Structure 1
Amino acid sequence: MSFVAAAVKPVQAAPLATTAVKDSSITDGIKKMVSPAVVLYDSLELDRYGLSRSAFEYAMLGFEYLVESGVIDNDDVISIVDFSLPSSAKRLFVIDLNSYRILYNTYVAHGHNSGREYANQFSNKPESNKSSLGFYKTLGTYMGGHGYSLKLEGLERGINDNANRRDIVIHGAAYVSEALIRSQGYIGRSQGCPALPEKMHKPIINKIKDGSCLFIYSPDKAYLKRSAVLNARA
């Protein structure tokens, strides 16, 4: 593949800055891999599916760093959630980086307190009922209150490293449905989990489980300047 192919401690988040976000820091890192990322983005016609170029470039920037750091075990696939899109859009993208194919593109819920149609508020705090942004490592599966589910490890300290404590997992949910979109304009919301349609969650979980990378994106300035993963090569 053209991209660089144990529990780990979450990456320490960079301290919050008092100045505005500087494009140069993260942008310089993106430029180092802009050619392969742009080629893949364009060849897969991801813009036609709605995935923003920024979400994809940030995802690949962090993915490369995590793979090279030995954090991600399975570099064959990457999953991207683009919260710049409303919940009525199919904003989960699972991409095969070996065959260069979009394996899955479907709906995904955000936390109840993150917003209604759009997720625009995020938290790492237990009982916040909000989504957490950033990079995750998929772990193993289990049968729980929501049926077949996938555990996640938040890799960014202070941003999503309470995922286990908050029981943030991937699972299926009846409220992630096109019927709700037709009736109210948006899907249901979770307690913070990236919940998937009931007919889709099992094959997706089986494809991405055991050490692959999940990136949950939003054009959130606080996250972009705090993320130690995105700023590692700045």
Structure 2
Amino acid sequence: MNRRAFTRLALSGAGLAALSPSMAAAALADVTDGTPQVPLPRPVPLVPGTGINLELLDRARAALDRHGPAFALRDRVALADFAMASKAMRFHIVDLIDGRTSSYLVSHGRGSDPDHSGWLQHFSNVPDSLATSAGAYKTGQIYDGVHGAAMRLIGLDPMNSNAEARAIVIHGAAYATEDHIARWGKLGRSEGCLAVAPHILPQVLGMLGPGRLVYADKITAA
């Protein structure tokens, strides 16, 4: 499929909704104007019902551009949507080439939710805060640690710059499972790490691998 045909396909249905207003306008111009256009970022035709916050995806795309030299791999990103309750599938891995998405449970830090409400209340980058940090991360080395297999996260923004010093990683935990939600109605809390269910950890680590973007934020209505 050539680029013009792909753009027309992306502009149908959810494809157009997945684009930011500026990207949509540029894509429409590319379809209707016969003159050559500046190459566009490849549109992501998201499947309706994925639950992905498009503003969060836009922020992740902006982070890829902002930290461009840090990322040799730009085909896939992970979004941690902490505006959602911990019982929701709020950790999304998005393929920026073909638009496929996979969503998982993910915990937040106990320092971000001191009353254990199941909702992240605030972020922190402070050592020993036991809180989750917002911002752009680069996935690092996969290693075997106290939780078993885990992936290091390198904080790239001022609000998560202490991630390595705080040992913020992606790891598996029994408190980040569907069974835990069935019993307690919410996930347990980490010490600031992005904890996922142990049985899906290999899939998450395999899809991300070292050198990709993980973007965490909480976007709420004004």
SS of residue matched to 1:132: coil
Displacement of 1:190: 0.1
Name the CA distance, whole Å, in 2 between partners of 1:155 and 1:130.
17
Name the CA distance, whole Å, in 1 between partners of 2:53 and 2:99.
17
Name the CA distance, whole Å, in 2 between partners of 1:182 and 1:207.
27
- 2:202 is the counterpart of 1:202: yes
Aligned to 2:79: 80
- Which structure 2 segments of 5+ residues have no match? 4-19, 28-40
Question: Conserved in 1, the CA contact under 8 Å of 2:42 and 2:97?
Answer: no
Aligned to 1:139: 140
Name the CA distance, whole Å, in 2 between partners of 1:50 and 1:97.
16
Name the CA distance, whole Å, in 2 between partners of 1:122 and 1:57.
20
SS of residue matched to 1:170: strand
1:3-45 C-alpha deviation (Å, 9 max, x unpaired): xxxxxxxxxxxxxxxxxxxxxxxxxxx65445678952xx312
Name the CA distance, whole Å, in 1 between partners of 2:170 and 2:209.
10
Aligned to 1:152: 153
Name the CA distance, whole Å, in 1 between partners of 2:126 and 2:139.
20
Measured at CA, do residues 127 and 141 of structure 1 come closer, stay the same or move farther in structure 2, by a change above 3 Å?
same
Displacement of 1:210: 1.5
Question: Conserved in 2, the CA contact under 8 Å of 1:139 and 1:211?
Answer: yes
Displacement of 1:109: 0.4
Displacement of 1:92: 0.6
1:45-81 C-alpha deviation (Å, 9 max, x unpaired): 25x12222221221222223323xx111211110101
Instruction: Give the TM-score, by structure 2 length.
Output: 0.77
SS of residue matched to 2:210: coil
Displacement of 1:191: 0.1
Instruction: Give the TM-score, by structure 1 length.
Output: 0.73
> Counterpart amino acid of 1:122?
F
Question: Conserved in 2, the CA contact under 8 Å of 1:76 and 1:98?
Answer: yes
SS of residue matched to 2:52: coil
SS of residue matched to 2:79: strand
Aligned to 1:45: 47
Aligned to 2:172: 172
- 2:100 is the counterpart of 1:101: yes
Question: Conserved in 2, the CA contact under 8 Å of 1:33 and 1:61?
Answer: no
Aligned to 1:213: 213
Displacement of 1:122: 0.9
Name the CA distance, whole Å, in 2 between partners of 1:150 and 1:138.
7
Question: Conserved in 2, the CA contact under 8 Å of 1:34 and 1:57?
Answer: no
Query: What is the Cα-based RMSD across aligned positions, in Å?
Result: 2.2
Measured at CA, do residues 31 and 99 of structure 1 come closer, stay the same or move farther in structure 2, by a change above 3 Å?
closer
Aligned to 1:113: 111
SS of residue matched to 1:62: helix
Measured at CA, do residues 133 and 34 of structure 1 come closer, stay the same or move farther in structure 2, by a change above 3 Å?
farther
SS of residue matched to 1:175: helix
Aligned to 1:27: none
Name the CA distance, whole Å, in 1 between partners of 2:67 and 2:187.
32
Name the CA distance, whole Å, in 1 between partners of 2:153 and 2:175.
21
Name the CA distance, whole Å, in 1 between partners of 2:217 and 2:42.
18
Q: Percent identity?
A: 30
Q: Which has the higher contact order (CA 8 A, sep 6+)?
A: 1
Displacement of 1:123: 0.6
Name the CA distance, whole Å, in 1 between partners of 2:23 and 2:109.
32
Question: Conserved in 1, the CA contact under 8 Å of 2:174 and 2:180?
Answer: no
